[in-house]
Amino acid sequence: NAGVMQNPRHLVRRRGQEARLRCSPMKGHSHVYWYRQLPEEGLKFMVYLQKENIIDESGMPKERFSAEFPKEGPSILRIQQVVRGDSAAYFCASSQQGRGKAEAFFGQGTRLTVV
Amino acid sequence: AQSVTQLDSQVPVFEEAPVELRCNYSSSVSVYLFWYVQYPNQGLQLLLKYLSGSTLVKGINGFEAEFNKSQTSFHLRKPSVHISDTAEYFCAVSDTQGAQKLVFGQGTRLTINP
């Protein structure tokens, strides 16, 4: 049973370009969470999705950021018109249930560098 | 809303010495508590979690943590550390009633010296 798969592992974008980060949850998991880790900081919640639904996007910046989790295929975190401040590690986690006690399994992250 | 404070940003320890990584939380509702470990350029791996029951929780790699409700703490301990324990450690909480949305502390970098 493969773990949570994120790709790419490293992504370099010039300012103003778009970044697309992909996350394939563990088999049987229908709950996906995205977190952002800025340098020297802990992880900050961004968004929680179930298949075809955004459940909680309270941590998403209001502009340029969007997320989806289609019926088929991976979850996508999309950042439009990237700026230097978007440089960070983006982690995806998945769980079998959405309840608080369900263990969340993390991917290895995508490290975005904006130049 | 919840918040988590990890009191030490860096902890240097000699190999085979004991270690304690401190974590305090604040919440107006009941929470579950977690410790995760992050090795360099890797994702997070769950070390242990407290959901209910015994306040002393044992995890992987010889780590354990004790939940203290009155002091709102969840400190992580290991009686004898190895070089391989060098990593970043994160304490996190989630709401027991809501979704598994984790609130993380800032992390503690544990460095083991030979």
Write out pLDDT tens, residues B27-80.
998 889 999 999 988 889 999 999 888 999 999 999 999 999 999 999 999 999
CA distances from A15 to A11, A64, A77, A81, A86 (A): 13, 13, 17, 7, 10
pLDDT exceeds 60 at position A1: no
44-63 in chain A: CB under 8 A from chain B: 44-45, 48, 55-56
Average pLDDT value over all residues in chain A:
92
Tokens of B16: 């085979």
Contacts of B32 in chain A (CB under 8 A): 100-101
Contacts of A93 in chain B (CB under 8 A): 44, 102
Asked if B90 is an interface residue toward chain A (Cβ–Cβ < 8 A), one would say yes
pLDDT exceeds 80 at position A99: no
- Residues B29 and B96: beta-carbon distance below 8 Å: yes
Q: Give me the pLDDT at residue B95, please.
A: 85
Percent of chain B with pLDDT over 70: 99
Who among B43, B95, B100 is closest to A102 (CB)? Answer: B100
pLDDT tens digits, residue range A23-72?
999 998 989 999 999 887 789 999 999 988 999 999 999 999 999 999 99
Cβ of A108 within 8 Å of Cβ of B97? The answer is no
Asked if B104 is an interface residue toward chain A (Cβ–Cβ < 8 A), one would say yes
